[in-house]
Amino acid sequence: MTAAHSSTPLKLLNREQAILEFNRRVLAQAQREDVPLLERLRYICIVSSNLDEFFEVRFADMLDAARDPLSTVTGQDVDRVGRAAHTLIDEQYHVFNEQVMPLLRKQRIVILNHADRDDAQRAWVSKFFEREVKPLLVPVGLDPAHPFPQVANKSLHFIARLSGKDAFGRDNRIAIVKVPRVLPRVIKLPAHLSDGHQAFVLLTSVIRAHLEELFPGRKVEAFSQFRVTRDSDLEVDEEEIANLRHALRSGLTTRHFGRAVRLEVVNTCPAELSAFLLEQFGLPAAALYRVNGPVNLVRLNELIDQTDAPALRFAPFEPAWPSGRLPRHKSIFDKLRKGDVLLHHPFESFDPVVQMLREAVNDPDVLAIKQTIYRTGAKSELMDLLIEAARRGKEVMAVVELKARFDEEANINWAERLEAVGAQVVYGIVGYKTHAKLLMVMRREGGKLRRYAHLSTGNYNPKTARLYTDVGLLTADPDLTADADSVFRQLASLGKFKALRRMLLAPFNMHSRMVELLAQVEAAARAGYKAARVVVKINALTDAELIQALLRTAQAGAKVDLIVRGACMLPPGLPGVSDNIVVRSVVGRFLEHTRVCYFRWAEGDEGEALFLSSADWMSRNMFRRIEVAWPVLDARLRQRVIDEALQPYLHDTLDAWQLGPDGHSVRIGGERGVSAQQALMRRYSSDV
């Protein structure tokens, strides 16, 4: 019986557990013998960073939903996800302690605890503590005049139980010591003290060894590191505020003190101290995470950065300049008048995008530049170029998304700098994040105005363009560039939506068009077209209506391949329901970020459509964000996207995982398989 005729609706996979499953795939990278050792440690750090955001946002939202009587989320759901998180974190520390660290020791890279350090090393650490650390520490003994201090989100602290009485004869036994963020978490010992090793000490170990010095005349009977994770999603009522930028700026100061959702302590923490902390933060026992090691593994990135061991890192890869399609040191505008240029990052360089903007800034015939700003980073040559363009008197419009999570402060700063030089800055539409990636240049040519544009699946961030896979299109196509201009006008004027020539725009018609295309493939399959096909490559699939449309298409006989990097709520492989759907995830050296949607319903160019997009197939992207998707109409470029961004991933047998109907993934192939990313790196290395 198919889902369409079942008396009970198909139960979708849990989104939060799907996110944890993705992080389990990332953690598996740290267990691969074919991955360089320091990179294996980096994957452990990435999992910690991902889990921090999971608790700050997703799990916090889940807790809120469980308290809402109208929500379908139950306390049992929260408990189930919490147990899965505990299991994953326990596994993460096992990989760290039992696999990666012993292998690093064999490479003479060591982290020395106090017990491991010899006399000379202890003397050096003691001097370091006196000189660099102790002056910044302020131990707080708790009493009615010194209540439990404000503990910021993810800040590191020690809790200590002291013997005896304080200097005033009082029996205050508990003290808190904040570890300042300005101090390095990983300190490299001098070579002359390391006996041929690269030896490191953790800041927590330095403080632990000298903790008693902070409490003269008293003994430290018990202690532990601890860290609390808080709900960090900035919430402002956009309908009720006059100035979104000012409201978010003030909200940034309170974000660090949101509701506590997780407490981390070391596994040796006495029960009475962990119980005391749980009480202070108003947390249940299930929110306590006892870890066998540093409570913030993210900061071990500092060890990776300080280690001199090139052989233990990925070999350097330099993105190729598309010289055959875009000659260096020649006008990009001249080239684009002859045809579109497709860029595949990080295999190809992001520099042509920067060069296009730089050329626009320096070209006296360029009258206007418009760009969306989502995640550009605190330092950005692109933003500096926009500021310079405004200084030179060009019309500059910047659509700055102030609510790009955890980039709010950087984006507010850019908005203020752009406004200061006369750029027109808009913040999109109230209640909708502007997630579209668009850059448009307007140039006077022969008495007429001509538009040029860059459309992308990824952010305007040259740093992440070397780490994330994305596809960008440089174009002078009259329809696409007119559409880009219309999107900017829509964001500025807030007028009625008018359908675009080629582009799809969320929240208006992207979702409905994707459903229509799936229905078109479904109809072709029901009519007997054997090659009916859907291939979608996205970061997440959680929208229920799109999932149902995919199921109908597959049940009609069309082959459906989904390449979903992260959370996928569609359970594939269910007999009679989703057995014609294969869901795979690729986790490799680069973060998969490209969004490609391919549909085939008949033979020939007229029987297929391929869209590139900024949007994942999530309800928030389709209905609560400004997103764009655009068709690749040039048959040659369309085939290139298929050959590079889809086919290699469908045949990956090294970095790919296949999702089962129960929500668990199984690795495809083994360590001698074929990697899509590695194949693309080889292809573009030979083009240099």
Beta strands in 92-235 (DSSP E): 109-111, 139-141, 156-162, 174-178, 186-188, 198-202, 220-230
Using DSSP's 3-state secondary structure scheme, residue 651 falls into coil
Using DSSP's 3-state secondary structure scheme, residue 466 falls into helix
Task: Please list, in sequence order, all residues whose beta carbon lies within 8 angstroms of the beta carbon of residue 424, skipping any fewer than 6 positions away.
Answer: 395, 396, 397, 398, 492
Judged on CB neighbours under 10 Å (0-12, 13-18, 19+), 424 is: middle
Position of tokens 């070579």? Answer: 191
Instruction: State the greatest distance between any 2 C-alpha atoms of the chain, in Å, as a whole number.
Output: 89
Residue 400 and residue 368: Cα distance in Å, rounded? 17
Report strand pairing: 438-445 vs 260-266.
Answer: unpaired
Peptide bond just before 346 cis, omega within 30 deg: yes
Residue 454 and residue 475: Cα distance in Å, rounded? 6
Cβ–Cβ < 8 Å for 442, 353: no
Residue 348 and residue 337: Cα distance in Å, rounded? 21
Which residue is catalytic, options 344, 345, 435, 593? Answer: 435
Handedness of CA 637, 397, 391, 350 (dihedral sign): negative
**Does 435 qualify as catalytic in the annotation?**
yes
Residue 595 and residue 587: Cα distance in Å, rounded? 15
Task: Please list, in sequence order, all residues whose beta carbon lies within 8 angstroms of the beta carbon of residue 220, skipping any fewer than 6 positions away.
Answer: 160, 161, 162, 163, 211, 212
Distances (CA, A) of 25 to 100, 439, 668, 684: 16, 34, 12, 27
Both tokens assigned to 37? 């050792």
At residue 633, what is the residue type? L
Output Rg (C-alpha) for the chain, integer angstroms. 27
Q: Hey, which residues are catalytic here? A: 435
